[in-house]
Chain A
Amino acid sequence: MWRWLHPYAKSEATFALNQKILPWFLIPGLLLTAVGLVWGLAYAPPDYQQGESYRIIFVHVPAAIWSMGFYVSMAIAGLIALVWQIRTAELAVLAIAPVGAALTFISLFTGAVWGQPMWGTWWVWDARLTSQLILLFLYLGVMALYVAFEDERAGGKAASILALVGVINIPIIHYSVYWWNTLHQQSTITKVITRFESPSIAPEMLWPLVVNIFAFMGLAAALVIMRLNNELLRREIHRPWAQKVLNSGDKENSNAV
C-alpha cells in the first residue's frame, strides 16, 4: 500500500519530486495572494460592527489556520522520523519549523494590532492567546533542539519528539474558545470542520478570505519545499546527484539555491 512512497526515502528522489511540485504551490500561491489581498482589503464590504478594522482578518485568519496546519504536518514528519528513522523526514521537520514559526508570529502580531482598536488591548492572557503563544515557543523549541546537539541525527530525533508531543497543543488552541471563557471570540471558519456549522461571515467577505487561506497555504508550502531542497543539497553536496544538480546550470534549479 505504501510501497510507492519507499523511493522517496532517498534524498535524490525527494529532491526531484520537490522540484516538480514547487511551481504548483508557488505560482498559485503568489497569484492568489495578490487576488485575495486586493479583494479583501479594497473590495470587500466593511463590517457592520467593526467597520474597516476587521480587514486584518484577511491576514490574521489564514496565518493562524496554517500556523496550526503546518504544525500538524511537522508532527507527522516527526513521527515518521522517529518510527521509520528516515533522515529526509527529520529534514522536513527542520524545513517546516521556521515557516510555521513565522506564520504563528504573524497571527500573534496581527491579532495584537487588531485587538488594540477593537478590544482595547494589545494582549490579554486568555486561553486562546496564551495557547497560540505556546505554539510559537514550540516551533522555536523545535528549531533550537535541532541544532543543540553535536550529532545532527541526535538533534533531529530530539526535535522530532518535541514536534510530536507538542501536537497536543493544537486541539487546545482550537477548542480554547469553547472550553473556557476568553476575550477572543469563537471560531468563524474552522467550525465548519470541527463543529459542522456554516461559517458566520457574509459570502462577499468569505470568498476573499477563502482565497487568502489557499494563498497562504501555497506560499508557505512553497517556502517549505524550497527549504527542504536546500537542506537536502547542503547535506549531500559531495554526492554525485547533488553535483549533477549544481552543475546542470542555474536554469531550472535556480529557485532551490
Chain B
Amino acid sequence: MNPRRKKRLIMTGGILAGFALATGLVLYALSQNIDLFYTPTEIVEGKGSDKTLPEVGQRLRIGGLVVPGSVRREGSGLSVAFNLVDVGPAEVTVEYEGILPDLFREGQGIVAQGTLVAPNRIKASQVLARHDEEYMPPALAEALKGIQHVPPSQWQVEDDENTNEDDESSGGYYDR
C-alpha cells in the first residue's frame, strides 16, 4: 500500500477508534440511566453498585413479572392492583386505574410508569406489556409449556370471584 493511503487508513482508523472509545465511555457512564425501568429488586434493595434507593415521590418506571394470584380488582371500576417480581423475593405493588393492555396476564412481563408512593408501592399512570422473543403456534405452546390458548377477549378477568381460577387456565407464562 502506498504511504499516502496508509497514512489515510491509519488516520480514519484512529478517528473511528477514538469515536468508539468516546461513545463507549459515555454509554458506560450513562449505563444505569439508559435502563428503561427499575426492577422490583432494585426498588427494594437499591440500584447499582452503591445501592441507591429510589425516593418516595419519585416518578419512575418499574418492570417485572405479574405475580400469579396477586391481581386484585377494586370495586366494579377499572382500578386494579397487582404485585411485580423479578428474581425475588422482593415484590412491589402497582396500583393502576385504566385499561390494561391485551397481553396483561399473571406471569406476564409488565412495564409500569408512575410515582413511588411508598418504598414498595407505585401508583401507575401507564401500564405496558412486554412479550418475549419466542414465537410459536398455540398447539406447540401447549405441548411445550402446557399453555392453553385463550383468545385475548378472555384474558382479563371480569370480576373478583374467579380471579384466580380464570387466570390459571390462561396459563401464566413466566419463563423469563
Please give the residue numbers on chain A whose beta carbons come within 8 Å of chain B beta carbons, in ascending order: 45-51, 54, 57, 79, 82-85, 117-121, 124-127, 161, 164-165, 167-168, 172, 179-183, 185-188, 200-202, 204-205
Contacts and interface: CB of A to CB of B under 8 A. Distances in A.
22 contacts: A46-B138, A47-B137, A48-B140, A50-B103, A50-B131, A57-B135, A84-B5, A118-B102, A119-B131, A120-B128, A120-B129, A121-B128, A125-B36, A164-B12, A164-B16, A168-B20, A179-B27, A181-B63, A185-B133, A200-B134, A202-B135, A205-B136
Given A120-B101, A180-B34, A49 B126 contact: no
Contact of B130 (A54, A119, A127): A119
Contact of A83 (B9, B39, B130, B136): B9
A201 B131 CA distance: 13
A54 B133 CA distance: 11
A124 B136 contact: no
Contacts of A168: 16, 19-20, 23
A165 B128 contact: no
Given A119-B130, A185-B130, A185-B131, A48 B16 contact: no
A83 B2 CA distance: 11
Main secondary structure of the interface of B (DSSP, over half): mixed
Contacts of A121: 126, 128
B128 A181 contact: no
A182 B36 CA distance: 5
A187 B9 CA distance: 34
A187 to B, nearest CB: 6
Contacts of B27: 172, 179
A200 B135 contact: yes
Contact of A45 (B101, B137, B151): B137
B15 interface: yes
Given A182-B36, A183-B111, A48 B126 contact: no
The 6 A-B pairs of least Cβ separation, nearest first, read A48-B141, A120-B101, A45-B137, A202-B136, A126-B36, A201-B135
User: Contact residue range for chain B?
Assistant: 35 or more
Given A47-B138, A165-B16, A186-B132, 8 more contacts: A47-B135, A48-B140, A119-B130, A164-B12, A168-B16, A185-B133, A202-B140, A205-B136
